[in-house]
Structure 1
Amino acid sequence: MAWLNAPHRVAAELAPAVWTFAAAERRRGTAPRLVAARAIGATGAALVDDIRAFRRAAKLPIDVSVILWPHATDEGVVPIETRGAGPVAVPKARVIRDRVAPLVRAGSLVTEVMLPHECLPALIALRGLTSACVIVAHTAMTCVGVVGDGVVEARYLSSAAPKPSFDSESARLLARYQHIASLAPHIREIGGAAPGLRMIVTGPLPSLRAAMVPLVEELDHEIDVLDGDVPSPAPHALESADPDDISGVQLAWALAATAPGR
């Protein structure tokens, strides 16, 4: 297999606000190991330089598998307050070229492009599951998907960026509660709250575990937040052991650990 000669596989999750990179070392007879990870602001002027510096510092190959998040204006993405949603398709080639252009300018070779929900089976398989409801939460975009029998039913839900300040702490908490609680009807509609179905949450939403409390209350369903570990990390692979950093890298890690080599 090709990856045995070049054992590092790199994946990049490209969301509107933050790009998250993960590199897995994959060798025959051993479990994949996270060897490098980095979150980079997607709107900064130094994006290209930061990508190039990360790849060089970690001595990573130029090949990269991309998880491309849709934008709020893309077909199939609906505001979180609405009900019902249509399918989201991979953007047209011209749009993909535009959105991955900083990667290419940084010297990367994009080998495949996937939507986030297409990575959910790999994410749960790394935890020994074949079915689950998965929520990938970003600040202004959330993917909710139900995986079962090799099929994923998913919705992409956009939301306004949080206000920079509130008049009181109670007002801030109420706004966050209402926002997260708005996920509940979508989860119910796609069967994600079924009894016995594991519910998993990940993503770079700040204070993710605390943010999910309203959803537990709304659904009366236990939720597993993936902010405690990444399977088999190498020393210093993560910038920190902060739960938000750990939950933020999980989707990119899942693709890096399972994507086929060239």
Structure 2
Amino acid sequence: MSSPRRPRPRSYDPAKVRAALDGQVRVVCEAVDALCAAPDARARLDAPTRLGEWTVRELIAHLVRALESLSRRSGTQDARVRAEITLTDYVNSVSSRAGEIAAAASAGAAELAAAEPAAVAARLREAAGKLAAGAAGTDPAAVVPTAAGAMTVADFLLTRLLEIVVHADDLAAATGTPLRHDRQALAAVTRVLADTLAAKAPGGSVEVRIPPFAVVQCVAGPRHTRGTPQNVVETDPLTWLRLATGRLNWADATEEAAVTASGERADISGQLPLLT
């Protein structure tokens, strides 16, 4: 029996990705501005997050590095270099680089360790300006180096969008303040993570629905061709984001009815999380 065919990569309009980035970064900056303007801002910046030992301050420091990463890499472009990895390759590499990412976050946090709350908010806005300038002034087809391998700017901007959306949800969880994601940003990240699942577990025996943004088929086995699929998983975008990134486990999500799974092959807990 031949191996299941991997799905074709989804294409994204670079202009729409930049607009989604602008919208999501604006949401995060406004949330951090409000946090840092609160009377108890110092205590809130030192509060824990669901990311191991990271505090809110360290989470913001990580966001600063994520926003500035394009400007750091743009100066090392080489027209002779071709892209080595795809967006899916990059996402799949995140878990294996967890130690490296944590070390970088700690280094970034040192810069903000003694900063006054207003300076923390200003530093994030400065980083946001660098990302906007870099995204607007760089050819989407250009290639930049990353820790996982060289990739196009278009794909790299999608990784920045993934970082900002995932960590915006972390920020909301840590502060207890709901955060309204940019719709197009949440849509793109939902699709990126759904496509990552389809690439990780290629096949057509299970249909995963994340309305209104994505539907993918995955998991090797009998392929559904018509009518109602026998194995269906359905959830909302934020629950999917949390499942895919290890912020929520499958058992809790199904028990809370945040996920519905019908069919004997619909348990995809073995494929999750996709990144941590």
What is the TM-score with the length of structure 1 in the denominator?
A: 0.29
Q: Which has the higher helix share?
A: 2
Which structure has the larger Rg over C-alpha atoms?
A: 2
Q: Which has the higher strand share?
A: 1
